[in-house]
Amino acid sequence: MRGDLEIISPWVSKGSTVLDLGCGDGTLLAHLQKEKQVLGYGLEIDGDQITRCIENGVNVIEHDLDEKGLASFGDKQFDTVIMTQALQAVRRPDEMIEEMLRLGRQGIVTFPNFGHWRCRQYLLFNGKMPMSKTLPHTWFNTPNIHLCTFKDFELLCHQKGIRIVNKLEVNADFREHSFAKLWPNFLAEFAVYRIELK
């Protein structure tokens, strides 16, 4: 499993209900079903990924989060709502966070940190939008339309009355580094947050 998914797994309770937004090939849900006996559903827009979900034994619904939103789901229908590396690709991340916490008792999000020193250095010395292992697309074909930093996300949580239960600042290999804890907005490449309403 991808490193951020390994980090998330312990935050999900055994036998709980999970909704995975932009679930990809269903790797996380398949793991949680096997190891934690969760009842999980994934939402995915890509047809090839949906086929892989079905092959992995994951309940998946073809769903465009930007076009259809999440209004068809009831309040507190899930214990946990997860969105890994997709928050920056939706049109209104602020509304998506609110919807996640309407549907679930807790939300878990991961996203690349655009404030990382390599991004800053690339922009400073090249005068172009950064490209890296964590941000591999050019400005005109990237799915990432709302890049943010740790500070941006935490300010949004504060403004929306959202409590940060856990957060991890990790490198590109999704490993914690002691230096990143000292100055996460500058030194960490990925954010992993567990959130809930205050």
Model pLDDT, residue 178: 67
Q: Please write the tens of the pLDDT for every residue from 35-81.
A: 999 999 999 999 999 999 999 999 999 999 998 889 999 999 999 99
Strand partners of residue 164: 195
Where exactly are the structural domains of the chain? 3-197
Model pLDDT, residue 180: 65
Model pLDDT, residue 144: 73
Strand partners of residue 17: 39
Cα 46–Cα 49–Cα 55 angle in degrees, nearest 5:
145
Q: Which residues of the chain have pLDDT under 70?
A: 134, 173, 177-180, 182
Model pLDDT, residue 2: 81
Do strands 104-112 and 17-21 pair parallel, antiparallel, or not at all (unpaired)? Answer: unpaired
Inter-residue contact 36 to 13 (CB < 8 Å): yes
Model pLDDT, residue 185: 76
CA distance 166 to 163: 9
Question: Tokens standing for 197?
Answer: 């309403």
Total-model pTM: 0.89
CA distance 96 to 47: 22
Question: Which listed CATH number (3.40.50.880, 3.40.50.150, 3.40.190.170, 3.40.50.10470) goes with 3-197?
Answer: 3.40.50.150
The conformation of residue 137, written as its DSSP 8-state character, comes to: S
